[in-house]
Structure 1
Amino acid sequence: MKVTAIIPDDLIAEAMELSKSSTVTDTLKIALKTYIRSQKLKELGALVLNEPLEFKYSSQELREINRK
């Protein structure tokens, strides 16, 4: 998809430096993927806080299962 966006040069330059990308396109792909991942992690964290994980087995039971 082609997109036209007005982004400050210094912001692009810093993002390119940090991502070690040689093109603006690669830099933006990395930035968007990273942003999406961080948002999904936040959502997952909120889900775990609202509904904590329950474990079916104790640590000892898991050890025994893993040794089989």
Structure 2
Amino acid sequence: MKVTALIDDNLIEQVKKMSGGKNITESIVIALKYYLNNQKIYDVLDAIDKEPLQFNEDFTAYNIRKINRDL
């Protein structure tokens, strides 16, 4: 998709430098993917914060090793 956007030259140069992209397009794609991945992580963390993980009472390292060995 073609997009026209007015973005500060300094910001573009920083994104190019930090992302390691070969050109502006590749650099922006890398930055956007990085941003989306971070947002997904924050969404998971928010979900865990709202409903924390709970382990069974019999959850122990020994029991997990036993399960893994039985596979």
Unaligned runs of 5+ in 2: none
- Equivalent position to 2:63, from 61, 64, 67: 61
Unaligned runs of 5+ in 1: none
The aligned length equals: 68
Aligned twin of 1:32: 32
1:67 aligned partner, one-letter code: R
Over the aligned positions, Cα root-mean-square deviation in angstroms equals 1.3
Aligned twin of 1:22: 22
TM value normalised by structure 2: 0.86
TM value normalised by structure 1: 0.89
1:64 aligned partner, one-letter code: K
Q: Supply the distance in 2 between the matched residues of 1:24 and 1:37 (Cα, whole angstroms).
A: 20
Q: How much has 1:62 moved relative to structure 2?
A: 1.0
Instruction: Please list every run of at least 4 consecutive aligned residues from structure 1 whose deviation after the TM superposition is greater than 2 angstroms.
Output: 54-57
